[in-house]
Amino acid sequence: MTEDTAATTAVPGQRDPGPGDPGPLDAGPLDAGTAQADREKPQDHVTVCMPAEGAYLSVLRTATAGLAARLDFTLDEIEDLRIAVDEACAMLLSQAIPGTNLECAFDLGADEMTITVSVTAAEPHIPARDTFAWTVLSALAGTVDSRLGADDLVSIVLRKHREAARSSPSDISGSSGISGSSGTRSG
C-alpha cells in the first residue's frame, strides 16, 4: 500500500500505527474510562494560516466543510459551520492589523469540532456578546467563546458537537409520513 493509498483509505478518527505502536491485535482490552478519554481528546489538529483579508475566506469555508464532512457531520451542520467560520472571521478581520495573518485552528474529536479563529489586532478587544452577530454564531456553532491572548492576539472559539443520534433509513421514511406500504391508492 502506498502512502497516497493509505491516506485516502484512512478511517476518520483513526491514526496509522507508527513504529513501535501495537497493532490492532496487540492493543488489548480498553476499560470504559480509557475509551471515554480516547473519545474526548482531539485526534487531529489542523491549522490554516492566511493573509487577514476577506478575499481568502473561501479557503476557510472549504476547509471547514471538508473537515466537518470527515467527521460525518450532517449537511446542515456542515453549512452551519461554514457560515459560523465566515461570521467569526468577519468579526475579527475588522480588528486585524493590515499585512498580518488570520489563523484558523481545527481540533477534531470523535464527535465534535473546535475551531479557533485568531488575528493580531492593533487595539485588541473581545467581540461584544450582545450583538446579532454573536447570536448568529451561538445558534450556528453551539458553544462560542472569545479570548485575548499574548501579543495582542484576539480569538473566537467555536465548538460544534455532531448530532448524537443518527437516524436509520427506516427511521427517515417513518418520520416523513410514508408508511411501509406501496403508497398507491386503489381505485
Per-residue pLDDT tens over the stretch 3-61? 333 333 333 444 444 444 444 444 444 455 555 555 555 479 999 999 999 999 999 99
Indicate if the pLDDT at residue 72 is higher than 80. yes
The residue type of 112 is E
- Tens of pLDDT, residue by residue over 85-107, are 999 999 999 999 999 999 999 99
**pLDDT at residue number 43:** 77
Long-range pairs for 90-93: beta carbons < 8 A, 24 or more residues apart: 90/54, 90/57, 90/133, 91/127, 91/133, 91/137, 91/156, 92/52, 92/117, 92/118, 92/119, 92/121, 92/127, 92/154, 92/155, 92/156, 93/52, 93/53, 93/54, 93/119
148 has pLDDT over 80:
yes
Q: Which CATH superfamily is domain 52-164 in?
A: Histidine kinase-like ATPase, C-terminal domain (3.30.565.10)
Say which amino acid occupies 1: M
Q: Which is higher by pLDDT, 151 or 165?
A: 151
Each domain of the chain, given as residue ranges in start order, spans 52-164
Residue whose C-alpha cell is 418520520: 175
Q: Model pTM?
A: 0.66
